[in-house]
């Protein structure tokens, strides 16, 4: 892709945007048919994906523009119902590309399977016995899904923990075996669950205990992705606010989130505003990503900010975001949902590691978008102006009436459904 910078994209019609996208991205015939389909997820396909299907639930699919990450251009498909998120991500990406773009990295994709063992006659002995049989256990895990080993991944290591050793604990003593599995480009839940279920009988034999749970952990703290941006203050200047004022405001906003869970939850919700839409558009499991991200935000013993914002020696604003990112480019519903296939094609990532890097980057951008608005004009100005169209629709506006009423709501600074209903009634006379 030459450039993800398409100025004024949002002022075009949907048809024109599709043409602009086709100028910078080559689609297959199947992808074009899926993107243009009246019914992108046929109910027959949906009926094979989950249970008790009665229909489908479409979401708007927008494009996050201007993203330059590790010197590569990305157009980011985002599936979300909330106005102003796509605009905000694109806005910050536009600023950061002027500063040289984002940098991002990801660890190896090592996911964790857990086996819970209770009732061991001697927990310490059981732990030592498991560790002595480490290679045997790894081999059993890999035999349960040999193709992962063949592609360079598979079970790599084990760890044993004893929980509730203290006799004052109100919970029962248990041993937990962790199996570390490189799942390559898959999220890996099914792969890992297969492995831990295969291991359970041997674990019972070795420990003389009883196995209950055999399941993946969504706390994927060995499958991390990290994004960073460094922004000179002059690029942050906006309206009547100097770049230094915005920069310092963002750092104060971060310190607020780092010190107060009431603020941290909202701050982090703003980050997930950027993350969830790509996770959803690429057919990944957003509950898994959400659960892992919030747990990681509490890793220092209290729930805090997922991002950090600071000022470097040169006076630049420096933002960083590191999160567990258990996403895949294969598996699950990724190649089943027709639009997810199109989203992968537009994004153009070559591995799950690269996808994870893009996702955390958009989370970081989205956080700055919200903080920049919050420390300057406030969130309502930009957000509510874009939300006005949804308010007009909720009040019954249709067709060209939607934009006319939305503009009137913004002009009169009264973006609420009651006011919109009055305008719809006037307009319909």
Ligand X SMILES: NC(=O)C1=CN([C@@H]2O[C@H](COP(=O)(O)OP(=O)(O)OC[C@H]3O[C@@H](n4cnc5c(N)ncnc54)[C@H](OP(=O)(O)O)[C@@H]3O)[C@@H](O)[C@H]2O)C=CC1
Ligand Y SMILES: CC(C)(COP(=O)([O-])OP(=O)([O-])OC[C@H]1O[C@@H](n2cnc3c(N)ncnc32)[C@H](O)[C@@H]1OP(=O)([O-])[O-])[C@@H](O)C(=O)NCCC(=O)NCCSC(=O)C[C@@](C)(O)CC(=O)[O-]
Q: Is 379 in the site for ligand Y (CB under 6 A)?
A: yes
Q: What are phi and psi of 354, to 5 degrees?
A: -70, -40
Q: How far apart are CA 76 and CA 278, in angstroms?
A: 7
| Torsion angles phi and psi, residue 161, rounded to 5 | -125, 145
Asked if 94 is part of the footprint of ligand Y (rule: CB under 6 A), the reply reads yes
The partner in contact with residue 187, picked from ligand X, ligand Y, none with C-beta cut-offs of 5 to 8 angstroms by kind, is ligand X
- The minimum distance between CB 263 and ligand Y, in angstroms, equals 8
Is 98 labeled as catalytic in the residue annotation? no
Q: Which is nearer to ligand X, 12 or 151 (CB)?
A: 151
Q: Which of 25, 72, 82, 156 is catalytic?
A: 82
**Residue 327 in contact with ligand Y, rule: CB under 6 A:** no
Cβ-contact 253, 357 below 8 angstroms: no
Catalytic residue among 285, 354, 387, 419: 285
Q: Of 355, 365, 367, 366, which Cα lies nearest the Cα of 106?
A: 355
Instruction: Please report whether residue 270 would count as binding ligand Y according to CB under 6 A.
Output: yes
Under rule CB under 6 A, residue 10 binds ligand Y: yes
Of 243 and 332, the one with the shorter C-beta distance to ligand X is: 332
Measure the CA–CA gap between 1 and 345, rounded to whole angstroms: 11
Please identify which residue in 153, 328, 332, 369 interacts with ligand Y, judged by CB under 6 A.
Answer: 369
Window 69-88: contact mask with ligand Y (x via CB under 6 A): -------------x-xxxxx
Marked catalytic residue, from 134, 136, 252, 269: 269
Residue 413 catalytic?
Answer: no
Residue 373 interaction partner, one of ligand Y, ligand X, none, beta carbon < 5-8 Å per kind: ligand Y
Q: Total binding residues for ligand Y by CB under 6 A?
A: 28
Pairing label, strands 174-182, 110-118: antiparallel
Partner that binds at residue 305, options ligand Y, ligand X, none, CB closer than 5 to 8 Å by kind: none
Q: Which residue's CB is nearer to ligand Y, number 20 or number 291? A: 20
Residue nearest ligand X by beta-carbon distance: 331
Choice between 233 and 331, CB closer to ligand X: 331
**307 touching ligand Y, by CB under 6 A:** no
**Among 45, 107, 194, 266, which residue interacts with ligand Y (rule: CB under 6 A)?**
266
Query: Starting from the edge strand earliest in sequence, which strands make up the sheet with 307-311, in order?
Result: 103-106, 224-231, 317-324, 307-311
User: Rounded to an integer, what distance in angstroms lies between the CA atom of residue 199 and that of residue 193?
Assistant: 10
CB of 330 to ligand X, least distance (A): 4
The residue from 226, 337, 341, 383 that is catalytic is 383
> 136 catalytic, yes or no?
no
Segment interacting with ligand Y, rule: CB under 6 A, options 2-10, 17-25, 151-159, 173-181: 2-10
Q: Compute the distance between CA of residue 414 and CA of residue 384 in angstroms, rounded to an integer.
A: 10
Q: How many helices (H) and strands (E) does the chain have?
A: 16, 10
The yes or no reply on residue 46 touching ligand Y (CB under 6 A) is no
**Cα–Cα distance list, 67 to 279, 321, 349, 424 (Å):** 17, 16, 13, 39
Q: Report the partner that residue 339 touches, choosing among ligand X, ligand Y, none (CB closer than 5 to 8 A by kind).
A: none
Residue ranges that bind ligand X, judged by CB under 6 A: 147-148, 151, 183-191, 193, 216, 218, 285, 288, 328, 330-333
The conformation of residue 26, written as its DSSP 8-state character, comes to P
CA atoms 291, 201, 180, 357: torsion sign: negative
| 178: helix, strand or coil | strand
In the residue annotation, 285 being an active-site residue is answered as: yes
> Shortest Cβ distance from residue 146 to ligand X (Å)?
8
Contacts 24+ apart (CB under 8 A), 183-186: 183/109, 183/110, 183/111, 183/148, 183/153, 183/328, 184/109, 184/148, 184/151, 184/152, 184/153, 184/352, 185/109, 185/328, 185/329, 185/330, 185/351, 185/352, 186/328, 186/330, 186/331, 186/332, 186/352
**Cβ-contact 307, 361 below 8 angstroms:** no
> Hey, which residues are catalytic here?
82, 269, 285, 383
Interface with ligand Y (CB under 6 A): 7-8, 10, 65-66, 82, 84-88, 90-91, 94, 266-267, 269-270, 273, 369-371, 373-374, 379, 382-383, 386
């Amino acid at each position: 892709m030459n450039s993800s910078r398409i100025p004024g994209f949002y002022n075009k019609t949907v048809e024109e945007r599709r043409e602009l996208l086709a100028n910078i991205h080559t689609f297959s015939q199947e992808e074009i048919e899926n993107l243009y389909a009246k019914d992108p997820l046929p109910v027959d396909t949906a009926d094979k994906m989950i249970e008790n299907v009665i229909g489908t639930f479409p979401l708007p699919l927008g494009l996050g523009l201007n993203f330059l990450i590790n010197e590569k251009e990305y157009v980011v498909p985002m599936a979300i119902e909330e106005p102003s998120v796509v605009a905000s991500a694109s806005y910050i990406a536009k600023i950061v590309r002027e500063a040289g773009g984002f940098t991002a990295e990801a660890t190896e994709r090592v996911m964790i399977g857990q086996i819970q063992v209770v009732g061991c006659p001697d927990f310490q002995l059981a732990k030592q016995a498991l560790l002595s049989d480490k290679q045997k256990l790894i081999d059993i895990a890999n035999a349960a899904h040999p193709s992962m080993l063949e592609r360079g991944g598979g079970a790599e290591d084990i760890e044993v923990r004893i929980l509730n050793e203290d006799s004052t604990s109100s919970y029962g003593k248990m041993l937990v075996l962790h199996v570390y599995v490189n799942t390559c480009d898959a999220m890996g839940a099914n792969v890992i669950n297969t492995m831990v279920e295969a291991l359970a009988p041997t674990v019972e034999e070795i420990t003389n205990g009883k196995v209950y749970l055999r399941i993946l952990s969504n706390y994927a703290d060995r499958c991390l992705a990290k994004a960073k941006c460094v922004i000179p203050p002059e690029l942050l200047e906006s309206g009547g606010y100097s770049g230094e004022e915005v920069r310092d405001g963002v750092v104060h906003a971060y310190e607020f989130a780092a010190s107060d869970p009431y603020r941290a939850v909202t701050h982090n919700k703003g980050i997930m505003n950027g993350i969830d839409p790509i996770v959803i558009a690429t057919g990944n499991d957003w509950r898994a990503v959400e659960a892992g991200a919030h747990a990681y935000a509490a890793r220092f013993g209290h729930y805090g900010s997922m991002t950090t914002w600071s000022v470097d020696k040169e006076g630049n604003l420096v933002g960083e975001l590191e999160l567990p990112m258990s996403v895949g480019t294969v598996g699950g519903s990724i190649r089943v949902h027709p639009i997810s296939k199109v989203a992968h094609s537009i994004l153009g990532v070559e591995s799950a590691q690269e996808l994870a890097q893009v996702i955390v980057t958009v989370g970081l951008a989205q956080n700055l978008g919200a903080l920049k608005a919050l420390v300057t004009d406030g969130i309502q100005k930009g957000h509510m102006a874009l939300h006005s169209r949804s308010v007009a629709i909720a009040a019954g506006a249709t067709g060209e009436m939607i934009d006319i009423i939305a503009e009137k709501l913004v002009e009169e600074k009264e973006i609420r459904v009651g006011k919109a209903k009055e305008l719809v009634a006037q307009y319909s006379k």
